[in-house]
Amino acid sequence: RELELLTRRDLLFLLLSGLTTFLSWLFYYRAVKEGNVSLVATIDKGSVVVAIALSVWLLKEPLTPKLAVGAGLVLAGLLVLISR
């Protein structure tokens, strides 16, 4: 019943979301298989900071102090891992 409320556009975006998620995991596992696992995982976790930055910039989400500190800690951790 609830599926009937979805428009074709909604269904298209759901399909595209599923496809991009599948491709993301596929590329991640390939990178882990062929690359340095610690570097691959580090790059992967950097996506959190990118998502925060894009949400603030494009969606005008408020950058709360808690969110800023969290992003800063993730960045600091990434820098520590990369510098080793």
Average pLDDT over residues 35-48: 87
- pTM value is 0.67
Span 7-38, pLDDT tens digits: 999 999 999 999 999 999 999 999 999 998 88
Instruction: Quote the CA–CA distance of 7 and 79 in Å, as a whole number.
Output: 44
Locate the domains of the chain by residue range.
1-35, 36-84
Q: Between residues 32 and 1, which one has the greater pLDDT?
A: 32
Tell me the CA distances in angstroms from 23 to 10, 12, 13, 16, one per residue in order.
20, 16, 15, 10
Percent of residues, the chain, with pLDDT higher than 70:
100
Q: What is the 3-state secondary structure (H, E, C) of 24-75?
A: HHHHHHHHHHHCCHHHHHHHHHCHHHHHHHHHHHHCCCCCCHHHHHHHHHHH
